[in-house]
Amino acid sequence: MVQDKEGVLPPQNRRTASDGLWIKCEKCQELVYRREWERLLQVCPHCRYYSQLTAKERIAFLLDKASFKEHDKDLKPTDPLGFKDSKTYKKRLAQAQKKTGLFDATITGEGQLGGHKVAIGALDFGFMGGSMGTVVGEKITRIIEKATKRRLPLILVSSSGGARMQEGVFSLMQMVKTSSAIAWFKEKGGLYISILTHPTTGGVTASFASLGDIIIAEPKTLIGFAGPRVIEKTIKESLPEGFQRAEFLLKHGLIDMIVERHHLRKVLIQILDFFKSEKCPL
């Protein structure tokens, strides 16, 4: 599980305290009227805490209504190593599938954003920390290839603890596969917008998430390869204030902009409009 200086990140589905009319912010513990919570896209109006969105929620608020067509929905992971720690990998997969309603940690497909046709993929942190195994790598690669062949702008939304340890080297291979697909996509003149949400770490950061032509992050997103606690214990030094947060990385040039969640759809439409107006080959 990814950690930051405040401790272990809360499981995605623990973000609400009630199924009724009110939501309790998991950070400040203030109550928020459910309709207001949904209107604000699950950002607390009291403390500005960003609750994690599922992949379905993310795609639903970004794309034009009823425009999304999902691809490769039925791809399922296997257990190539017969992995077992405190539980078998098969049992962990079954639990994650029941919890999220997904076969694995990503949803990919095509849709429209402000009238622009786009290829899109989103990772779901609720499924084993959004970790990238063979199915995630395959689905991301396929949507990149479809975007290349159909000359569509590509948008990938990351939220991940990194490569999935239960699949060992098979998981690490997805870093190369997805990065190679992105290289081919760019060679053909494709526009790739990478959106980093809290947290984006490990092998996902070290592959497709950091390869966008434009890299956007939500405020205070944790972005890095290893987490701050791991780094501090390794180098035995204190890290700078805000290290690996989006604001720090923007200042040091790793990302291009920080966009608040309720502005993100509008900003993406402006970017797509701009490239279309400049007679981009897309």
CATH superfamily, region 53-277: 2-enoyl-CoA Hydratase; Chain A, domain 1 (3.90.226.10)
The rounded distance, in Å, linking the Cα atoms of 196 and 174 is 18
Select the highest-mean-pLDDT range: 15-19, 20-24, 56-60. Answer: 56-60
| pLDDT confidence bin for 278, thresholds 50/70/90 | low
Q: What is the pLDDT of residue 17?
A: 44
Say yes or no to pLDDT of 151 above 60: yes
Say yes or no to pLDDT of 9 above 80: no
Say yes or no to pLDDT of 7 above 70: no
| pLDDT confidence bin for 15, thresholds 50/70/90 | very low
Residue 113 φ then ψ, to 5°:
-130, 105
**What's the mean pLDDT in 140-145?**
98
Write down the domain spans for the chain.
53-277
- Measured between alpha carbons, how far is residue 120 from residues 54, 70, 103, 116, 211 in Å? 14, 9, 18, 12, 15
